[in-house]
């Protein structure tokens, strides 16, 4: 680093500070008021006035967020896992093989990403009903898989394409079967890409809101965090302290997950995007 | 290993690969090779077909029917031709409120997100590694905030009675009376845009940053020596190199912003009681589930899909054209 | 050769794991078989709903041997949840249905008629008439009257005493009182006009002599754009736009927001339901003794009618044991439990015998509501389509547009009336 405090450095410092404030302020505000005993009575200010855990206790005891968190973890875990597996298989097919209709398949995968989810609420509702999966987390996972797969395939395709073909051929020369090569050469090399795609599947499963609302309808013990929060807000719309505590609870896991995978992410995005 | 791969991933430009060459050329092995891609694709395609494409076809079929609660329960159909579409296009709400809101909002928030994200990426590229990590982590925090949570935080910040913005403005003496930011369509959408940009720019910034780090330093330095200013340099060197990155970022943001739903639906008045702020997504939902007019709602949804498909088509064309070159 | 199937096997294992994992919680609707009765009850009516239903559950088990499984549903989401449950065939055996929804769900073929059960139990003459009307569709009774409530005005007696004000009996007196409060107590909102609360609008429409909608021949005609209705609506919204008795925030308030703000002590007068004083005092104990209620004043005296609302218990067609369902409905709507429910919630029982005792109450926070209910109860149009009007938020949109200055009273009422006519007669 240069130790040069010229006017440009100062300006840059100010810009960075402003940027940090803008990006962090909502999170800060959420967390700080969740600990503020006076947040609900209009007495909050930039710093918490009276520190308290009451809002959190209230959220877990009255709000049932323990259950919601568990449900969301189950849904997110299986969505990430299964979509990772399926996307990997599919992306190998489109990146490594030349076959008839390859371009059509690619265009198809790209196009289905454009479908607005609200459009599918009714038919998917009917579909899930016919599968007898209403009010169950499995139904939700299946739907989220469909939402996260196109993007996952699209991104992984770039990673798979980037694995040098020579490595593969070397494995064949050593007498490995295709399956063997896949496991010992391909899989380790695209692992970072899997991490990057898992972020997106995770976000879908953790944040999605309309389908959770319609597919889980009457079963509040199956609610995921997003609709749990909506229900909680509906009941306590002016109790900002507990509402912010609940918001914090559902945000923290995502933040941890993001920060863990952050370093993998940037490379993944670009290879996925650029190769797109 | 991973960092090597990342570099490879950004640097190499080849796509696809050769099918594995086997020594023995038996017809059976060939058959396996030929069906293997389809075997690999099968689970994903089955899932997508059953849960995205078939439902999409059904939406279209619903949109041609007067499809209500009764029809859903009994499974009967009730075709009425293009009546729903006629009604939509005859509804002045579509032309005066819904379409302008949807398209106008997408244009504004996409450009704001992309421009802001790019500026942040350029700022990050010019920072030392310590500060880059700090800013990067802060950006992750903004990105990680779930849409529902983020929306509630912004609602509270702008709350008319207790919100921070009103309190601050009043304390500064800039405002005498509380202002309700959610009743006016412009301030309403300004808050939605703030929410969307805040949640959306990290994706742009991180993606563009990764691309920027791949742009060759020599070219930029050479341009600098030639006397090109920062803006010239951006448009002459950086932008052309990163064109594929930008096209992806822009198109994805467009899709996401066109489809924005929760961020509007959850805002005060956003679920239908303030007619001036409806967009296509919310309108479709409110008509379907509030009115039990699933056919009409489906027709609106088809309209939204068509709009997005047109944009997609343009995207696919530019993208595949570049790939062929 | 075997190895090639590995990925698929992995998928299968993952799927199995998934099934195993969520299995524990995956069954609600199907176990209704035989001896569990699934019931949906609205949340928030009774400050201590869960304790109440624990007792009911015990009594029910004792009586029938079956278990009671109660799910609590929020009013705000309830309509959507019923609709999706009806569409998905996952409805409970019995549910509390808002009076304006019963006809709608009956129309969709989701409810089972209960007229025969009522007759058999000899209850025909014991049911409150207004609730029977709204629970009847196509000549059959689908909604068992459970409880009823009306909205009147609650106010802060301490503020009125301090400023030497008397409770208003006409619209003009209401404005006068609010003007004094506004001048003397700037920390208070004299009379919030909530933009997202249709039920608070109708008293002013009816009070001015207007109608929400009337059946003329076989056509529904909305009366919201009549001169009288406009008068009432102009007065009501004028409290905010002209007299500034409300706050900017109230433009997007729901009824619960009024209650929350009242509990925080920032509101002087508000329209509020007969069920709210108990909840208010529980939320803000320091309001004890500072709370008064009056019927909504008429334009120049008398009472402006307010919606006679409430809930039915309805039996769904999906119920496998309808006799058991009826047992539960009877247990809830007659005798001790109906009485207890009314006492705890501040609602009036839907059973005429019990209602009589409530009306004779001399509690200052019950009597005015009882008066409103007997002398100033209004009914919304009884048609399945009115539920759709409510879901479209026609009235809310109208009020909100006026409050925020997007439309004039004339424009907004004309638009709302046209929309109402469309929905109620069309499609």
Q: Tens digits of per-residue pLDDT, C95-113?
A: 999 888 898 889 888 899 9
Contact C261 A238 (CB under 8 A): yes
Q: Is residue C29 part of a domain?
A: no
- Please report the DSSP string for C191-223 in residue order: S---TT-GGGTHHHHHHTT--SEEEETTEEEE-
**Could you tell me if C317 and C295 lie in one domain?**
no
How big, in percent rounded to 5, are the helix, strand and coil portions of chain B?
Answer: 75, 0, 25
CA of C198 to nearest chain B CA: how many angstroms apart? 10
Evaluate whether B147 touches A208 at the Cβ level (below 8 Å).
no
| Phi, psi dihedral angles at A237 (to 5 degrees) | -65, -25
- What is the chain B residue with the closest CA to A205? B146
Domain that holds residue C340: 34-149+309-377
Q: Tell me, what's the ipTM?
A: 0.79
Evaluate whether B155 touches B162 at the Cβ level (below 8 Å).
no
Three-class SS state of C270:
strand
Q: Is residue B53 part of a domain?
A: no
Three-class SS state of C8:
helix
Q: Is residue C248 part of a domain?
A: yes
**HSE of A203 in the Cβ direction (CA atoms, 13 Å)?**
21
What is the domain count for chain A? 1
Q: Is residue C350 part of a domain?
A: yes
The C residues from 62 to 101 touching A (CB cutoff 8 Å) are 71-74, 76-77, 80-81, 84-85, 87-90, 92
Residue C261 host element (H or E) = helix C255-263
Q: Which of C14, C90, C256 sits opposite A81 (nearest CB)?
A: C14
B174: domain CATH number? 1.10.3720.10
**HSE of A69 in the Cβ direction (CA atoms, 13 Å)?**
15
Contact A122 B294 (CB under 8 A): yes
Contact B160 C89 (CB under 8 A): no
The span from the CA of B219 to the CA of B200, in Å, is 30
The C-alpha angle with vertex B318 and arms to B312 and B324, in degrees rounded to 5, equals: 130
The span from the CA of C222 to the CA of C215, in Å, is 9
The span from the CA of B33 to the CA of B54, in Å, is 29
- What is the chain B residue with the closest CA to A207? B146
Contact C74 A234 (CB under 8 A): yes
Q: Is residue A46 part of a domain?
A: no
Q: Is residue C11 part of a domain?
A: no
Domain that holds residue A200: 65-275
C232: domain CATH number? 3.40.190.10
The span from the CA of C409 to the CA of C272, in Å, is 24
In which residue are the tokens 């004039």 written? C408
Q: Is residue C1 part of a domain?
A: no
The span from the CA of C370 to the CA of C376, in Å, is 9
Q: What is the pLDDT of residues C314-368, one digit of tens each?
A: 999 988 889 999 999 999 998 889 988 988 888 888 888 888 887 788 888 888 9
Contact A234 C25 (CB under 8 A): no
Q: Is residue A119 part of a domain?
A: yes
Q: Is residue B246 part of a domain?
A: yes
**Is the minimum CB–CB distance between C109 and chain B shorter than 8 Å?**
yes
The span from the CA of B268 to the CA of B265, in Å, is 8
Domain that holds residue B183: 83-324
CA of A129 to nearest chain C CA: how many angstroms apart? 6
Q: Is residue B255 part of a domain?
A: yes
CA of B174 to nearest chain A CA: how many angstroms apart? 18
Cβ-based neighbour number of residue B319 at 10 Å:
18
Model pTM? 0.80
**Could you tell me if C80 and C139 lie in one domain?**
yes
How many B-C residue pairs are in contact by the CB < 8 A criterion?
Answer: 97
What is the domain count for chain C? 2
**Could you tell me if C351 and C272 lie in one domain?**
no
Q: pLDDT in tens for each of the 427 residues of chain C?
A: 333 333 333 333 333 333 333 333 333 333 334 578 999 998 877 777 888 999 999 999 988 889 898 888 877 778 878 888 888 888 899 999 988 889 888 988 889 999 999 999 988 888 888 888 888 988 899 999 999 889 999 999 999 999 999 999 999 999 999 999 999 999 999 999 999 899 999 999 999 999 999 989 889 999 999 999 999 999 999 999 999 999 988 988 888 889 888 988 899 999 998 888 888 888 889 999 999 999 999 999 899 999 888 899 999 998 888 999 999 999 999 888 998 898 888 888 888 888 888 778 888 888 899 888 888 888 888 787 887 888 888 999 999 999 988 899 999 999 999 999 988 887 5
Beta-bridged to residue C147, according to DSSP, are C311, C349
Q: Is residue C101 part of a domain?
A: yes
Q: Which chains touch C (3 or more CB pairs under 8 A)?
A: A, B
Q: Is residue A221 part of a domain?
A: yes
Q: Is residue B143 part of a domain?
A: yes
| Phi, psi dihedral angles at C121 (to 5 degrees) | -80, 0
Cβ neighbours of C393 in B, within 8 Å = 271-273, 290
Q: Which of A97, A149, A258 sits opposite B37 (nearest CB)?
A: A97
Contact A12 B123 (CB under 8 A): yes
What is the domain count for chain B? 1
**Is the minimum CB–CB distance between C391 and chain B shorter than 8 Å?**
yes
Three-class SS state of A129:
helix
The C-alpha angle with vertex C84 and arms to C80 and C90, in degrees rounded to 5, equals: 130
Q: Is residue C9 part of a domain?
A: no
The span from the CA of B209 to the CA of B201, in Å, is 12
Q: Which tokens sit at A255?
A: 């933040």
Q: Is residue A168 part of a domain?
A: yes
Pseudo-torsion of CA B161, B167, B173, B177, nearest 10°?
-10
Parts of chain A with a pLDDT under 70: 1-5, 39-45, 218-219, 237, 262-276
Q: Is residue C23 part of a domain?
A: no
């Amino acid at each position: 680093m240069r130790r040069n405090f010229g006017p440009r450095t100062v300006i840059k410092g100010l810009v960075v500070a402003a940027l940090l404030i803008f990006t962090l302020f909502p999170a800060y505000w959420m967390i700080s008021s969740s600990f503020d005993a006076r947040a609900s009575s209009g007495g909050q200010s930039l710093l918490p006035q009276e520190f308290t855990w009451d809002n959190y206790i209230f959220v877990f005891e009255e709000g049932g967020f323990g259950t919601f968190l568990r449900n969301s973890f189950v849904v997110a875990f299986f969505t990430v896992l299964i979509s990772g597996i399926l996307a990997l298989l599919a992306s190998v097919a489109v990146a490594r093989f030349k076959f008839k209709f390859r371009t059509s398949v690619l265009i198809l995968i790209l196009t289905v990403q454009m479908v607005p989810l609200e459009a599918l609420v009714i038919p998917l509702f009917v579909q899930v009903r016919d599968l007898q999966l209403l009010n169950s987390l499995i139904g939700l996972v299946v739907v989220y898989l469909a939402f996260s797969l196109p993007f996952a395939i699209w991104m992984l395709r770039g990673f798979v394409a980037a694995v040098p073909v020579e490595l593969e051929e070397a494995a064949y020369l050593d007498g490995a079967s295709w399956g063997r090569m896949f496991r010992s050469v391909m899989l380790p090399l695209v692992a970072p890409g899997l991490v990057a795609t898992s972020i997106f599947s995770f976000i879908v499963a953790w944040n999605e809101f309309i389908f959770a609302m319609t597919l889980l309808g009457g079963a509040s013990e199956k609610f995921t965090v997003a609709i749990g929060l909506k229900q909680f807000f509906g009941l306590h719309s002016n109790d900002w302290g507990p509402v912010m505590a609940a918001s914090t609870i559902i945000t923290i896991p995502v933040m941890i997950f993001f920060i863990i995978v952050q370093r993998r992410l940037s490379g993944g995005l670009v290879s996925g995007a650029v190769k797109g | 290993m991973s960092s090597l791969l990342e570099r490879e991933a950004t640097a190499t430009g080849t796509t696809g690969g050769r099918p594995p060459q086997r020594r023995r050329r038996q017809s059976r092995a060939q058959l396996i090779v030929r069906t293997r891609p389809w075997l690999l694709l099968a689970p994903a395609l089955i899932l997508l077909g059953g849960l995205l494409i078939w439902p999409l076809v059904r939406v279209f079929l619903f949109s041609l029917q007067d499809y209500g609660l009764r029809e859903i329960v009994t499974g009967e159909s009730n075709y009425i031709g293009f009546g729903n579409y006629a009604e939509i296009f005859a509804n002045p709400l579509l032309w005066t409120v819904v379409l302008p809101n949807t398209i106008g909002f997408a244009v504004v928030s996409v450009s704001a997100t992309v421009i802001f994200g790019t500026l942040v990426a350029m700022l990050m590229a010019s920072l030392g590694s310590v500060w880059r990590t700090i800013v990067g982590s802060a950006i992750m925090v903004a990105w990680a905030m779930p849409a529902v949570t983020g929306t509630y935080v912004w609602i509270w910040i702008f709350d008319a009675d207790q919100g921070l913005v009103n309190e601050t403005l009043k304390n500064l003496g800039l405002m005498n009376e509380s202002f309700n930011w959610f009743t006016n369509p412009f301030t309403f959408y300004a808050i939605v845009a703030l929410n969307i940009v805040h949640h959306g720019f990290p994706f742009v910034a991180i993606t563009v940053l990764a691309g920027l780090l791949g742009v060759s330093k020599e070219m930029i330095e050479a341009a600098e020596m030639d006397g090109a200013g920062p803006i010239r340099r951006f448009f002459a060197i950086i932008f052309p190199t990163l064109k594929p990155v930008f096209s992806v970022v822009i198109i994805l943001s467009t899709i996401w912003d066109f489809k924005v739903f929760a961020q509007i639906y959850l805002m005060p008045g956003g679920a239908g009681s303030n007619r001036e702020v409806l967009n296509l997504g919310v309108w479709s939902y409110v008509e379907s589930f509030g009115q039990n007019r699933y056919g009409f709602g489906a027709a609106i949804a088809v309209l939204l899909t068509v709009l997005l498909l047109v944009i997609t088509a343009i995207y696919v064309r530019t993208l595949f054209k570049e790939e062929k070159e | 050769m075997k190895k090639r199937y590995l990925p698929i096997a992995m998928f299968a294992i993952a799927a199995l794991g998934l099934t195993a994992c969520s299995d524990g919680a995956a069954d609600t609707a199907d176990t209704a078989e035989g001896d569990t009765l699934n019931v949906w009850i609205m949340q928030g009516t009774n400050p201590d709903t869960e304790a109440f239903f624990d007792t009911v559950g015990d009594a029910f088990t004792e009586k029938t041997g079956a278990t009671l499984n109660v799910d609590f549903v929020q009013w705000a989401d309830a309509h959507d949840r019923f609709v999706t449950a009806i569409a998905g065939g996952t409805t409970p055996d019995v549910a509390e249905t808002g009076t304006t929804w019963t006809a709608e769900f009956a129309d969709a073929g989701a409810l089972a008629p209960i007229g025969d059960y009522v007759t058999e139990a000899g209850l025909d003459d014991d049911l409150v008439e207004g609730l029977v009307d709204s629970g009847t569709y196509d000549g059959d009774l689908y909604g068992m009257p459970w409880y009823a409530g009306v909205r009147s005005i609650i106010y802060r007696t301490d503020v009125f005493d301090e400023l030497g004000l008397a409770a208003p009996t006409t619209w003009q007196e209401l404005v006068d009182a609010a003007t004094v409060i506004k001048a003397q107590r700037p920390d208070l909102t004299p009379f919030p006009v909530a933009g997202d609360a249709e039920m608070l609008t109708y008293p002013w429409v009816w009070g001015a002599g207007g109608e929400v909608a009337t059946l003329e021949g076989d056509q529904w005609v909305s009366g919201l754009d009549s001169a009288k209705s406009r008068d009432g609506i102009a007065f009501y919204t004028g409290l905010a736009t002209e007299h500034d008795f409300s706050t900017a925030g109230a433009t997007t308030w729901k009824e619960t927001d009024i209650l929350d703000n009242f509990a925080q002590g920032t509101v002087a007068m508000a329209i509020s339901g007969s069920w709210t004083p108990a909840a208010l005092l529980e939320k803000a104990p320091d309001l004890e003794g500072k709370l008064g209620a009056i019927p909504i004043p008429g334009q120049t005296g008398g009472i402006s009618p307010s919606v006679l609302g409430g809930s039915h218990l309805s039996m769904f067609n999906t119920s496998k044991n309808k006799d058991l369902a009826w047992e539960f409905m009877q247990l809830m709507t007659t005798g001790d439990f109906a009485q207890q429910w009314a006492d705890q919630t501040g609602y009036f029982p839907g059973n005429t015998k019990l209602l009589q005792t409530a009306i004779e109450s001399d509690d200052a926070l019950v009597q005015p509501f009882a008066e409103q209910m007997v002398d100033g109860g209004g009914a919304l149009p009884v048609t399945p389509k009115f539920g759709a009007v409510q879901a479209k938020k026609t009235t809310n949109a109208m009020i909100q547009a006026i409050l925020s200055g997007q439309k004039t009273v004339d424009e907004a009422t004309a638009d709302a009336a046209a929309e109402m006519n469309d929905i109620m007669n069309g499609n």
